[in-house]
Structure 1
């Protein structure tokens, strides 16, 4: 189940960052209420996947012939930018991320501490 959920999250972040085209029949991006529902659902503590699983799936599903894409944590932060107190994504701190919420927390700390 973690693999299926992780693949969904990776694809969601890639589509939101325009790294993967969004189809005309995509229910996530073509339903008005879906994005806000997913944002709330992904913030829930009980829905957190280990970041190592998500990051591993991200690297395993990269296209070989595509130019270098953004790191997974930056795609995640960009997806949640408005919901994360309107903070710009800061992922330049070398902290180990345990799960998605921890990555957002680290980004908020980086923006407050200025590193």
Structure 2
């Protein structure tokens, strides 16, 4: 199991993740894709990454906007796994033409 990050580590990690914010024991971001099928494609790309990591996000899809929630439930909070997956989501979003969205 991964070690829980402290508040300072979480704050520093979020500085390198534009569009991501902390919500208690979860970090969240929303991305707006050019079209609905682009949003679904983003979810599919991230699903492959998440499966490889054995670390799965909470995902909400609303037309062209995907909202992502990350927390390491078995650790009871935020770990480096969440930060790593957030970076992978941000990279996949950028590669697919999605941009951070206020939600």
Give the TM-score band, short-chain normalised: under 0.3
TM-score (ref. length: structure 1): 0.25
- Greater strand share, 1 or 2? 2
Q: Report 1 or 2 for greater relative contact order, CA contacts < 8 Å, sequence distance ≥ 6.
A: 2
- Greater helix share, 1 or 2? 1
TM-score (ref. length: structure 2): 0.27
